[in-house]
Amino acid sequence: MSSQHVWNAESYETHGRFVSDHGQIILNWLDPQSGELILDAGCGDGALTSEIAQSGAEVEGVEVSPSMVSAARERGLKVRELDLLLLDDEARYDAIFSNAVLHWISDWPRLLSGFRKALKPDGRLVVECGGHGNIAAIRTAICAAASQYNVPTHAAAEAYLTPEEATKLLNEAGFEVERAELVARRTYLKSGMEGWLSVFRHQFIEQFPEGEVRDEVMAKLLSWLEPQLKTADGDWHADYVRLRFIAHMR
Ligand code: BEZ
């Protein structure tokens, strides 16, 4: 992970709340049980962590963004400020849960090795993240703008895996996959594509000087994305593809 993956809780609340709003399916997959100790890996501002806690399970969060850690602690949650790659627990958790985070991490072997160590011998790993083909139109538009303006895309670390790639990495790390799927989920963006870009592609956008040039780049991105991602009613969507899996310790 890097500073690219550090989020501001306030702008996330305005432009990114939909991320946790869409977490219900993977929460159902987790099926938390009272008496279990669960880790929410990359818990953000703790919206889903709180829902896990309501099930009666005990839950802890790990999160790298200081502002998100503060927001989660304000909900009364137990959260450590830590890069997931530095997780160093031993046989502590019944389950590790993660929503919309693992695509930010390119070193899955190291990540999964930390998860395996942190789980109890019969523990499970339940994940939803961006998968193969995720935000393909948005990434294509960013690449085109980067090329036109001769600047970097700032997106190199994202890993959008197929179920087969994820299964191979999980097997190599000592997990057995119970279920893995890839699902296209066009996602309505309440604050539009400009809001999404300004939060999730802020490094790309902010490398252009504020004012005319930045406005011009944003206008180009929007005009290229409009045919695929804006409805006739003017609603913007992101072309999300979700990878979901449940894996158990072998
Ligand atoms: C995602 O959840 O797939 C995602 C969110 C922000 C940027 C890129 C991907």
With respect to residue 28, please indicate whether it lies within any of the assigned structural domains. Answer: yes
With respect to residue 121, please indicate whether it lies within any of the assigned structural domains. Answer: yes
Q: Nearest CA to 183 among 131, 105, 235, 120? A: 131
Q: Residue 149: pLDDT above 90?
A: yes
With respect to residue 48, please indicate whether it lies within any of the assigned structural domains. Answer: yes
pLDDT of residue 3: 47
Q: How many percent of the chain have pLDDT more than 90?
A: 88
With respect to residue 70, please indicate whether it lies within any of the assigned structural domains. Answer: yes
Q: Write out the residue range of the structural domain in which residue 22 sits.
A: 9-135+157-189+238-249
What spacing in Å lies between the alpha carbon of 34 and ligand 1's midpoint?
31
pTM, two decimal places: 0.90
Task: Kindly report the CATH number assigned to the domain that includes residue 185.
Answer: 3.40.50.150
Strands, sheet with 119-130, edge to edge from the N-terminal-most edge strand? 78-81, 58-63, 37-41, 93-99, 119-130, 237-249, 175-188
Residues 185 and 61: their CA atoms lie apart, in Å, by 26
Look-up of token digits 């997780």: 87
Domain count, the chain: 1
With respect to residue 213, please indicate whether it lies within any of the assigned structural domains. Answer: no
Decide whether any atom of ligand 1 lies within 6 Å of the 161 Cβ: no
Q: What is the pLDDT of residues 85-122, one digit of tens each?
A: 999 999 999 999 999 999 999 999 999 999 999 999 99
With respect to residue 67, please indicate whether it lies within any of the assigned structural domains. Answer: yes
Q: What is the pLDDT of residues 38-90, one digit of tens each?
A: 999 999 999 999 999 999 999 999 999 999 999 999 999 999 999 999 999 99
With respect to residue 224, please indicate whether it lies within any of the assigned structural domains. Answer: no
pLDDT mean over 124-147: 97
Pocket-testing residue among 17, 105, 134, 138, ligand 1, by greatest number of atoms within 8 A of Cβ: 134
Q: Nearest CA to 60 among 73, 70, 166? A: 73
With respect to residue 164, please indicate whether it lies within any of the assigned structural domains. Answer: yes
Torsions phi, psi for 94 (to 5 deg) = -75, -30
Give the 3-state secondary structure of residue 94: strand
